[in-house]
Structure 1
Amino acid sequence: MTPRRALLAAPALVLAAGATRARSAWAQGTGDSLVLAGQQGWLFPFWDNLTQLDEVAMRQVLGLHTEVIALLKRGNIEVAYCLIPMKARIYRRFLPAGRRFAPVVERRYSNLVAALRAAGALAPDLAEVMAQASAIDPHWPVFFRSDTHWTPVGAETCAVALATAMRAQFRLPAPPQAGVRLGSIRMLRLAVGDLVQYLPPEQRGAFGPEESPIRNVLPATAGAAALLEEDASDMQVVGTSNVQPRFNFVPVLSNQMERAVGLSWLPNNVGPYAALLEYVRGSEFRQRRPRVIVWNHLESDMSTPINNPNWRQSGLNAESFLNGLRQAVLA
């Protein structure tokens, strides 16, 4: 029997409670660096600003998302958000001494969730879910210490929470294809965190590999493999690098929803808007329109305009993006 909700409904991967992990005590200020060095070897991206928030930009972004949600719903597609909170929000206890959230940033995540729900989307509070999981089993963090990404533990935690919310809110027909089967636990090894590169060369040696438990994805049965050619998923995850196959978000979501789940992702330096537009313009969308799109965003990106110059799709403005969606979804 495939491990499903009975196996995964508890906080994700609460394993090896007595496990110990080597932790660097190195911490110092980083001046103009792109990384903020915290306590016990924790690194935080400097662009996750804890003290300032452009509320005008955030309102504009939310206005755009409100239009996207309405547009997709007109196309008979439900929208669920996988809104990943800032790493510092979950692990603020490891921030450098004296670093604090400004009240307006403190409220941002909950305000975003409330606004997305008001616009008609499903938006679980993943900040609360991840905070609970990190408190229950601190040995296996929900984010890598020296990387911007969540761990497989964090990915599974959020996939379970999202699936629980979708099962409660969406009335979906019988799936055209069974969900992914999950098996035993192995360790995923991160050779070096992506934030280490921003440290001065002489400090990078203090950071070694990190590991996180992840579930094996079992091969499809012969019958399920045959279905792949005839039927397909009616749920699609669209986003950036956190939802890539490496962290197991989509397999766990598929397992929990007991249905196949498709995936379209692009690196975050391209952006979540380009990822969505590329997907709806593609042949996969034209051939089998999903009933649900799970759109993955980072908290900090939700106060960044769509033409953010740090995204390679900076030439994409709100009007052209919405026009592209309309042509694909409402055609």
Structure 2
Amino acid sequence: MRARPLLLSSLLVLGLNLGLTATPALADAPPQWQPDTAADHSAESQREIGLAHANRQAYDQALKWLESAAEAGNARAKVNLGYFHQEGLGMDPDGPQALDWYERAVKAGRTDHATRVAWAYLEGDWVTPDRATAEHWFQVAIDAGHHEAHLGIGSVLLSDVVGSGNTELAERAQAHFEAALEAGLDMGSYYLARMYREGIGIEPDPERALDYLYLGARSADTQINAPMQAWLAEMYYAGEGMDEADKVEAASWAWLAAANGHPDGERLVEAIGAELSEGERDEARERAWRRAGGE
């Protein structure tokens, strides 16, 4: 489970809405681009005019205004231009040019897009894959306080460790996941639990794995809590990291995983539940209900 950037959809670029509603002054007739006209507007105003044209699908005009805004130093316009080139709005799609605009946006202050650039270099989106350059952009994001980049580079390092067993890389990955968790990103607990449970580059430590699983299992994000609830069910069933197995507790976590949509949840509920008495099943459901209510 890698922490990938959010998918771009519609006219959204990582939270930046290209379908921005025009201001009342521009709602009726955004001006046509002319050098003299552009000079009368601030860079942000030029960007808004460009977006007003984009809303009307007048992409030629939109591009002129956005390029003018970008030349005037508007970082948000550079992000918009990246999306235009990526999606081929008013032109043929041009991935390398899109990436160039995203890089310019980051350098102009939109460091929230540095992780996007990092993944492009890592996975070869529009450019020859370049691991060193990808790590550079992840670090740019981290230095700017975008902690999701810890998850990005950490997951990359963890993949390296799975293939090599390199303990030095494991230590680096672990440090990134711990930093992400300290910054409030629950996904960090997922990776740390996995490392300790499976012994990826470190000595297996089921008790430490349980500590991180408890953290993640209580996350408000079902993409994080559901798999970790399923893992807890498996560990309680097998008695991993504890003195003895507890099938009632295992069933309780399995019910939570199933309720949160994890594909293993129903399987675990059925398999574990078949070994319990009716009273034990009732107790497991009661525990799951209490936890779901905010225990």
The structure with the largest strand share of the pair is: 1
Q: Report which of the two structures shows the higher radius of gyration computed on alpha carbons.
A: 2
When normalised by structure 1's length, the TM-score is 0.21
